[in-house]
Chain A
């Protein structure tokens, strides 16, 4: 048994050197602290918008209240929710399909060198294409249909997710794999217990990027295609055709609000949780 003096010395040293974890705040205060900055930002934007309207910077710029009225009218007319539902459903299905294909492709790229050297640059090139450039390609190939919208989502989101997954796997510290080998981990055990958890932060970032593309692309497709595909993109198009700036801004506000809600409500907490477990989230790095 160790000498009591050495035990006390070790305990003292541990107390002095270990990271002090601040006591967790109660949830109402924590939620208030998290919600305050974005609410402040929204208030600031609305204030600037109202000021620009009152100062008459533009003849066509509507007041924030007019845009809110348009949204209210669309809600009462029963057109807002279906538009939202259609766009969201396209994004979700497109994103889920992209996630499955992108993750598998990313893992294959990480595993197979020749595939990485041949397919990798193609995926990199596809990533640089905006959704607006993919819409005509999809429309000519598949006709003006839902399939064309999904093709646009897949062509944009899959490369983004696959490249993100590849880089997440390649950034795993080789020391962890060496440690696993010396401990006797087999191929499957290494994949389950080392590779996947080590790549998880990068995978979440890759999926977040894929979602960002998946959210924007259907809107672009709805806007560009001449077939009447219901959705928020169609709302934008109607506003443009009627020179209704207020309706256009209402659609933009909706796109922003929903995109931010998913980012803040789903990917934000997921990313924070994954990073904080690894001591990488900002709130765990300060101490």
Chain B
């Protein structure tokens, strides 16, 4: 229990007498990449908000080190700043010494292949580039825990595939603990070391899979496809269960 980087015990969240999450027990080991999967209304984003400290649980305990970095589906970058200034602002908020901003802010976009975009404004960047700047900004927080709320859902397949590769590389290099929320089963299997399926209304952990497929993985790999089918069948069962209630 103490070895976990993120630790949720018997966590429930209720909005207006309506339970959204119920009795969630989740422990993320340091350096673990966990994907959280579920249909609409399963409370995936609520769970992420609880770990990020944006909301408090109604019951139970959430323990996460410091302030976890959070990446959104909508990049949430500041459009009046350049890509580099967005990263610099995160460094400033993280309490990094002013003299180190420029060097660090140049280093991080380089990590996501965006050195040339440093002085560009957000509207001049493509969707994929914006998400990479958002990733660089999240990395600027120097948190060991990275929370990702469907960050690639709005991207086209080619860009998404590229970003899957980038994210995997950065996760391995930085030994981050990642909690990645998605509704895309294939994406979860492509990225995660563990895939957790949440049931809906209220959200509960329905099932969990360890993904033993070695990296680098490709979206079209046979092993990825096989496990995707199995998880998709379970997800469908969860959805069908609601048709009967």
Give A residues with C-beta under 8 Å from B. Answer: 2, 6-7, 9-11, 13-14, 17-19, 21, 173, 175-176, 178-185, 189, 193-194, 197-198, 200, 277-280, 284
Taking a contact as CB atoms under 8 Å apart, the answer to whether A279 and B126 are in contact is: no
Q: Is B62 an interface residue (CB 8 A)?
A: no
Q: Is B203 an interface residue (CB 8 A)?
A: no
| B179 shortest CB reach to chain A, Å | 13
Taking a contact as CB atoms under 8 Å apart, the answer to whether B129 and A18 are in contact is: yes
Contacts A13-B158, A181-B54 given; indicate if A277 touches B121 (C-beta within 8 A): yes
Taking a contact as CB atoms under 8 Å apart, the answer to whether B124 and A279 are in contact is: yes
Taking a contact as CB atoms under 8 Å apart, the answer to whether B78 and A10 are in contact is: no
| B211 shortest CB reach to chain A, Å | 22
Taking a contact as CB atoms under 8 Å apart, the answer to whether A279 and B166 are in contact is: no
> What chain A residues lie within 8 Å of B162 (beta carbons)?
6, 9-10, 13
- Most B CB atoms within 10 A — which of A10, A13, A198, A277? A10
Contacts A17-B127, A18-B125 given; indicate if A2 touches B113 (C-beta within 8 A): yes
Taking a contact as CB atoms under 8 Å apart, the answer to whether B79 and A179 are in contact is: no
Q: CA separation between A194 and B74, bound complex, in Å?
A: 16
Q: CA separation between A7 and B137, bound complex, in Å?
A: 20
Contacts A17-B159, A184-B93 given; indicate if A179 touches B76 (C-beta within 8 A): yes
Q: CA separation between A279 and B81, bound complex, in Å?
A: 11
- Most A CB atoms within 10 A — which of B67, B89, B117, B169? B89
Q: How many A-B residue pairs have CB under 8 A?
A: 100
Q: Is B229 an interface residue (CB 8 A)?
A: no
| A25 shortest CB reach to chain B, Å | 18
Taking a contact as CB atoms under 8 Å apart, the answer to whether A184 and B94 are in contact is: yes
Q: CA separation between A14 and B69, bound complex, in Å?
A: 25
| B191 shortest CB reach to chain A, Å | 16
Looking at chain A's contact residues, is the secondary structure mostly helix, strand, loop, or mixed? Answer: helix
9 contacts between A and B (CB under 8 A): A7-B113, A10-B113, A14-B117, A18-B120, A173-B76, A185-B93, A277-B121, A279-B79, A284-B123
Contacts A184-B67, A189-B93, A279-B123 given; indicate if A14 touches B52 (C-beta within 8 A): no
Taking a contact as CB atoms under 8 Å apart, the answer to whether A200 and B80 are in contact is: yes
How many chain B residues sit at the interface, stated as a range, is 35 or more
One of B69, B78, B165 near A194 (C-beta < 8 A): B78
What mask results when residues 165 to 193 of chain B are scored 1 for a CB within 8 Å of chain A, else 0? Answer: 11001000000000000000000000000
Taking a contact as CB atoms under 8 Å apart, the answer to whether A175 and B95 are in contact is: no
Contacts A21-B124, A178-B76 given; indicate if A183 touches B141 (C-beta within 8 A): yes
One of B72, B79, B95, B127 near A278 (C-beta < 8 A): B79
> What chain A residues lie within 8 Å of B169 (beta carbons)?
2
Identify the closest chain B residue to A178 (Cβ). Answer: B54
Q: Is B128 an interface residue (CB 8 A)?
A: yes
Identify the closest chain A residue to B95 (Cβ). Answer: A184
Taking a contact as CB atoms under 8 Å apart, the answer to whether A279 and B93 are in contact is: no
Taking a contact as CB atoms under 8 Å apart, the answer to whether B72 and A279 are in contact is: no
Q: CA separation between A245 and B121, bound complex, in Å?
A: 53
Q: Is B122 an interface residue (CB 8 A)?
A: yes
| A128 shortest CB reach to chain B, Å | 33
Taking a contact as CB atoms under 8 Å apart, the answer to whether A6 and B165 are in contact is: yes
Q: CA separation between A224 and B58, bound complex, in Å?
A: 64
Q: Is B90 an interface residue (CB 8 A)?
A: yes
Contacts A6-B165, A19-B123, A194-B78 given; indicate if A182 touches B69 (C-beta within 8 A): yes
